[in-house]
Every structure is written in C-alpha cells, then in structure tokens.
C-alpha cells in the first residue's frame, strides 16, 4: 500500500522532492496543491511537470474523504456524511460532521474518530464501537468540505471549528494536534487557533500534555455533573479520571497556557438540574477561570433521559450568575435530523445507518 503523501510534514516533503531531483521550490508548490488547493489527485497539479507527477503517483497515494450525503435541518443546520477508508478495521466507513450557521457565527463541528470507546450513557456515538482514529488529513478534509458548503449555502466563511463530533479527540492526540496545525497553517486554511475548540470527556494526562505543548486553541470539558457519583453514573471515564484529577489537570493547563476553560453541562430532568447540582458546579468552577455552557439535552432512542424543565434551567443559570460565573444556555440546532449534540451516530430519521440525500 502506498504511503499517503499528506502524512508527511513540510521537512519530509522537501526531502522527498530533493530525492527525486526536483528543485526546492517544487516542494512549496506541491505542499500548496496538497493543502491550500485541496487537490484530489497528482494529475490535477498542473504547475508540476508530468514526469514529476508520475513519480509522485508511483510512490504515494493522495486520497481525500468523500462527502457522500447531506441532510438539511429546518433551522439551516447541515449534517454531512463522509466516507473514510477503514479497510484495516472493518466495513463501517461513515463519519459525520455538521455545519451550524447562526446570525453571529458559522461553525463546523467535526469528528476525530470513527465511533467512540467511551460509551457515555447520553450519547448516541458512544454506542458505536471504536473503529479507527482519523488522520490529520481526514479531519482537515471535513473542515475544508464544510467550509465549501458554508460559502455556497450561507455566503459565509467559517468563523469557528469545534472538535465535538464523533469520538474523543484526546484519545487521538497526535493526529488531532497535527490537524489543528494544518487548519491554522499556510499552506492550509489559515484559521486562528483561538477560533478552534477541542472538547474532551476528560482525560487528565492528556489535558496536562496540552499544557506542556502550550496549545493556543480552546479547551472544553464535558462535565455534566460536579460530583463523582453522578458523573460516573453517566460517564464511565470518570472512574479513571475523577473530578479531583481533572481539577488538577485543568489548573496545570491554565498555568501553562493562560486560557480560560469551558465547562459543558448537559442538563437532564431530575438528574442534574437542581440547585444542589448548581452549587456543586459553582464550587468546582473555583478551580480554574472558566465559562459554563448549559446545553439542553437532545433525546436519543432509549428515552432514559429527558430535557430539563425550562424554569429549572433558568433557576440553575441564575444561581450560577449570582456567583459571578459566566454562563450561556445553548439551544441545540439540527435536532430534526439528529445533528445536535450527542446525536451523531450515522443514523437518519428512519433509523438506518445512512443518510438520505438532500
């Protein structure tokens, strides 16, 4: 099997070009074709000689993920099905990404894995097996393709990118950071890292590693409960990464990066929606400068959890704001096409593991 040319960094690419007897400036041209121009084959690289292109095709592959289908929500949200190569791991080859347009921003939500290993009770993706870590190029492709849809549909460039789709980004650490580098780089998409948010269910060692790497993107922690008993009930990862270890890691991350952390808190009816829960959250928030996103729950098939009563959500928010915490209530978009938070699972309204074409 030929090596994917997009797995090479800039230095490796320059070394390959030199070994082929080409002049150094050809490496810059090649890198520009591969990333900024999103070429789908070597044949498209018309500024390179035919002989050079033939040499490249003999030694390397260049294969992008395929945008196979789309669903359009009533609110304008677009859910995209992407086909990826999972030959080594099985025949499940669909990941999902979402374009979320609002008046103030245009966001791409992308996946970092095919499936997920964490099995959080409230998340549809967690019911899938982990099939594969996505490569940096496969994550880059999601952003590039969703950006194209945003320009065509919304006449807008992407303003934000969130790694909040399928999978746990910090369990695919190396490739996720490589993808951010390419998305922010030139050649690349030239996005500011401050426009990118990586969301984690809470891997303490990896959060500390982000601090050591002094990353410049934003970090969000899917918290959902601020006591260990409740959090472990819905998130098995808490058994090995409890709140004490996460608090320590977040403090370290903030000391290294100076970045404010976002706590994501899906609020469930009669589970984590009372004032006592808000009090526990307020105490946990004292660990590190933060803001809180209270997220309404988006139902999945089993019906175990339900949306919290709006009055209780308001009371929860008011309690936190009275303690001078920054709080936003996030109303989910794309629920009618299973594109909202926690709903991504390769499934359309009919329950089949594929998406209908828009």
The model's pLDDT over 280-320, given as tens digits with 9 standing for 90+, comes to 999 999 999 999 999 998 777 666 789 999 999 999 999 99
Is 12 known to be catalytic? no
| Other CB atoms within 10 A of residue 119 CB | 15
As separate numbers, helices (DSSP H) first and strands (DSSP E) second, the chain gives 10, 14
> Tokens 């370290």 map to which residue?
252
pLDDT at residue number 345:
56
In the set 96, 138, 178, 264, the catalytic residue is 96
Supply the CATH classification number for the domain 66-337: 3.20.20.70
DSSP state of 334: -
Residues forming CATH 1.10.150.530 domain(s) in the chain: 3-61
Is 1.20.1740.10 the CATH number for 3-61? Answer: no
Is 341 known to be catalytic? yes
* Predicted confidence (pLDDT) per residue in 230-253, tens digit: 999 999 999 999 999 999 999 999
Length of the chain counted residue by residue: 358
- For 46, 123, 124, 234, 349, the CA distances from 305, given in Å and listed in that order, are 55, 11, 12, 10, 19
In the set 80, 120, 123, 341, the catalytic residue is 341
pLDDT at residue number 121:
83
Residues forming CATH 3.20.20.70 domain(s) in the chain: 66-337
Q: Does residue 196 contact residue 183 with C-beta atoms inside 8 Å? A: yes
> Which parts of the chain register pLDDT below 70?
86-92, 301-303, 332-358
């Amino acid at each position: 099997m030929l090596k994917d040319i997009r797995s090479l960094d800039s230095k490796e690419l320059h070394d390959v070009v030199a070994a082929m007897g080409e002049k150094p400036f050809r490496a810059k041209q090649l890198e520009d074709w591969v990333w900024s121009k999103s070429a789908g084959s070597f044949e498209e690289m018309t500024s390179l000689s035919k002989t050079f292109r033939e040499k490249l095709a003999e030694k390397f592959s260049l294969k992008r993920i395929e945008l196979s289908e789309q669903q359009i929500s009533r609110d304008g949200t677009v859910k995209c099905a992407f086909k990826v190569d999972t030959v080594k791991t099985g025949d499940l080859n669909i990941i999902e990404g979402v374009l979320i347009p609002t008046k103030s921003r245009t966001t791409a939500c992308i996946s970092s894995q095919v499936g997920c290993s964490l099995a959080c009770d409230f998340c549809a993706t967690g019911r899938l097996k982990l099939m594969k870590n996505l490569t940096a190029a496969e994550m880059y492709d999601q952003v590039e393709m969703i950006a194209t849809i945003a320009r065509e549909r919304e006449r807008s460039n992407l303003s934000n990118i969130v790694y909040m789709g399928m999978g746990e980004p910090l369990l695919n650490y190396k490739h996720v950071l490589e993808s951010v580098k390419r998305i922010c780089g030139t050649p690349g998409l030239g996005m500011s890292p401050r426009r990118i948010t990586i969301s984690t269910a809470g891997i303490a060692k990896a959060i500390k590693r982000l601090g050591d790497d002094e990353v410049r993107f934003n970090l969000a922690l899917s918290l959902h409960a601020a006591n260990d008993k409740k959090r472990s009930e819905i998130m098995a990862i808490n058994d090995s990464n409890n709140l004490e270890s996460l608090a320590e890691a977040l403090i370290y991350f903030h000391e290294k990066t100076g970045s404010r952390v976002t706590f994501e808190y899906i609020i469930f009816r009669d589970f984590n929606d009372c004032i006592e829960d808000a009090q526990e959250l307020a105490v946990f928030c004292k660990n590190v400068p933060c803001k809180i996103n209270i997220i309404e729950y988006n139902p999945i098939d089993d019906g175990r959890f339900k949306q919290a009563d709006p009055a209780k959500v308001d009371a929860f928010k008011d309690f936190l704001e009275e303690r001078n915490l920054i709080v936003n209530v996030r109303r989910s978009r794309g629920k009618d096409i299973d594109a909202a938070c926690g709903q991504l699972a390769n499934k359309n309204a009919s329950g089949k593991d594929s998406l209908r074409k828009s």
